[in-house]
Amino acid sequence: MLDLIAAQMKVIQITRPKKSCRRCERMVQVPAPSRPIPGSMAGAGLLAHILVSKFDDHLPLYRQHEIFARMGADIPDSTLVDWCGRAMRVLAPLIERIEADVMASDLLHADDTPIRVLDRSGRDKGLGKGVKKGRIWAYIRDQRPWAGASPPGAVYAFAPDWKEEHVHRHLAQTRGILQADGYKGYAKLYGPDPDGPPRLREAACWAHLRRDFHDEWDKTKSAIAREALDRIGALYDIEREITGRAADIRLPARQTHSAPKVAAFFAWAESQLTLIPGKGDLAKAFRYGLSRRAAFSLFLEDGRVAIDNNPAERALRPIGVGRKNWLFAGADTGAETLARAMTIIETSKLNGLDPQAYLADILARINDHKINRLGDLLPWNWSPPPTSVPEAA
């Protein structure tokens, strides 16, 4: 049988005895234990539950208020909002360390997705009065497919619009390879620096290209689109055999098996462009691939590079699920809180942790933790506290 033990609210009473010394006429008292939020009655376990429920399980705070009321605790929505904001400020030093570590990587996946944000100016920008469109970017480091040494991590960043200046700021300290879609804001990052080679090299996403052909085949049952899918599928067959292998094993396998197929695909694509209408979606898909041939071929030159940008696309799925629940962010500050919370929660999940257990322990310890040992609390360094085992009588 599988059963469930329902959660319960618990009030913890802290006793601090006072003692006096008649000889020296002094009063002494046991010091109060630190709290996750100074001056607040919220415990670490409760705060972790609220954060994970809101940012990972996508339960808006008004629904959590109703759940807590059924458990006998009437916590106003305004209090829950305050606790979330103050808990995120407590976690800010740790989140900043995650951001600095991940963004310093020499190989990143990047993608973005829109979210609705309340606009206090009240202007109608196409989404309804008082609502504007913001963007959430995700930057992912995941070296597990090529047995890399760095732990996986995810960084989320909010911007109030889709201007290229935001990605330039996000990637200001990043050098190496960026795997992303064809967003034009990345173009300047791929250009050569005044004093040398480009700061970032572009790696394109074969899954993105495949999706264009799949949409065309699904719509028209085009034989040409079907052949394109089969040719790209053959590349993925090779990738499945080498996923998880070291980069120096993946590279020769790709050069032997994948490189001829990639060359044949682009030669075939050029020939097909002369046979189909130039303004159709199929021709557009071919031109997209041919115009980025070097970026689509970079995975043949570096065994670390993935064939697609799926890690970043997977990282944005929680945002898509959340949009159906919370509908919009209350303001730019709320969207920024969402991005920071997603950073620490999704990074902990990438490292195989239970985010609620992780956050509960971190919130209970971080205020008393030495700042020069903050790295011990990072998701890839953290280990759960030992559970006490009752001794036999």
Rg of the chain over Cα atoms, rounded to whole angstroms, equals 26
- DSSP designation for 119: -
Q: Which of 12-16, 44-48, 222-226, 306-310 has the lowest mean pLDDT?
A: 12-16
Strands 18-21 and 107-118: unpaired
The rounded distance, in Å, linking the Cα atoms of 346 and 315 is 8
Average pLDDT over residues 289-315: 96
CA distances from 340 to 103, 246, 310, 322 (A): 14, 32, 21, 15
Start-to-end Cα distance in the chain:
30
Q: What is the pLDDT at residue 386?
A: 76
Residue pLDDT, tens place only, 346-370? 999 999 999 999 999 999 999 999 9
Asked if 146 contacts 245 with a C-beta cutoff of 8 angstroms, the reply is yes
User: Is pLDDT above 80 for 183?
Assistant: yes
The rounded distance, in Å, linking the Cα atoms of 318 and 295 is 28
User: Is pLDDT above 70 for 189?
Assistant: yes
Strand partners, 153: 141
In whole numbers, what is the pLDDT of the chain averaged over residues?
92
Domain ranges of the chain: 206-308
Pair of tokens at residue 377: 């609390």
Give the side-chain half-sphere CA count within 13 A for 15. Answer: 2
For 10, residues 6+ apart whose C-beta sits below 8 A from its C-beta are none
Average pLDDT over residues 108-118: 95
Helix (H) or strand (E) holding 36: none
Q: What is the pLDDT at residue 25?
A: 82
Residue pLDDT, tens place only, 15-38? 888 888 888 888 888 888 889 998
Asked if 36 contacts 364 with a C-beta cutoff of 8 angstroms, the reply is yes
Asked if 84 contacts 65 with a C-beta cutoff of 8 angstroms, the reply is no
Asked if 304 contacts 247 with a C-beta cutoff of 8 angstroms, the reply is yes
Strands 18-21 and 26-29: antiparallel
The rounded distance, in Å, linking the Cα atoms of 378 and 344 is 9
